[in-house]
Amino acid sequence: MTQTQNKAVVTVVIVPRESFNMFRQVAERIYAVTSPIFNMLIMEGHAPSNRRRELEDFTSSHPNCKIIYSERWKYPHEMVNNAIPLINTKYAVFIDNDVEVLEGWLENLVRTAEEKKAHCVHPIYLTVKLSDPSRKIHIAEGKFYREKRGDQWYIDTVACYSGVSLEDYPDKIAKESDFFEWHTVMFSKELLERVGLLDDLNVAEHLDYALRIHQAGYKIWLEPKAVVAYDYGRIWELRGTDREYLIWRWDVD
């Protein structure tokens, strides 16, 4: 697939989530099933040397793909923050390095952004491998439920359609959503510049950033025709450096 920079409307940023062993596989699939409308940044995250060599071999044949190296392990939000100043396209997609994408994922995100004039669009997230016939949903649209108790507000979150098969999701119509997951999400460059960098907060950075998006006056949209998958069970198979990074990243030692 031939790509040129003047065609790119999106920068796809691959960010380590909790391991490194699917890095190249994720990048290869994106190129294999996606139209040539993107450039790619790979946030290397101080990956093991064998994974780094795999990425360097991959980028050698993809001139619109660039590796951003790290001298130490970093948390995902740090690498998102490192990438934001490098965005030079209308949109940016942040995708974890253990996510599989379905055909049409990026094209549908972009189309919804253009049609709805949306500055944040996310896909349906599956919680199984793409090869799993159940196609079980992790979350479709996210919902906030707010309650004021005294002088404080309490917010509860609901992952709509969690556990439901993708084929049983009721429609393919884009709709507003209260929050997204960092597994995969697309922002406009305008939004990123206005809302700014992620805070050194906690594991709920997706909720914090979603609230900041709403506070800035932007809406979040779900595009059901865009689908990605993350296998939650894969963490039990991680070994070596991948397992060490997982423990460090979640601070569970």
What are the domain boundaries of the chain?
A: 5-250
Instruction: State pTM to two decimals.
Output: 0.95
Q: Which bin fits 150, alpha (ψ -120 to 50), beta or left (φ > 0)?
A: left
Tens of pLDDT, residues 153-191: 899 999 999 999 999 999 999 999 999 999 999 999 999
Residue ranges of the alpha helices (H) in 3-149?
A: 23-33, 49-59, 76-83, 105-116
Q: Reply yes or no on whether the pLDDT at 6 is more than 70.
A: no
Q: Reply yes or no on whether the pLDDT at 21 is more than 60.
A: yes
251 pLDDT band, cuts 50/70/90, is: confident
Check: CB of residue 184 under 8 Å from CB of residue 95. Answer: yes
Q: Does the domain spanning 5-250 belong to CATH 3.90.550.10?
A: yes
Residue ranges of the alpha helices (H) in 34-131?
A: 49-59, 76-83, 105-116
Residue 179 sits at the vertex; the CA angle it makes with 175 and 180, to the nearest 5 degrees, is 90
C-alpha to C-alpha distance for 111 and 61, rounded to whole angstroms? 28
Check: CB of residue 213 under 8 Å from CB of residue 195. Answer: yes
pLDDT at 1: 40
| DSSP β-bridge partners for residue 155 | 146
If you average pLDDT over residues 86-96, what whole number do you get? 99
Altogether, the residues listed in the chain come to a count of: 253
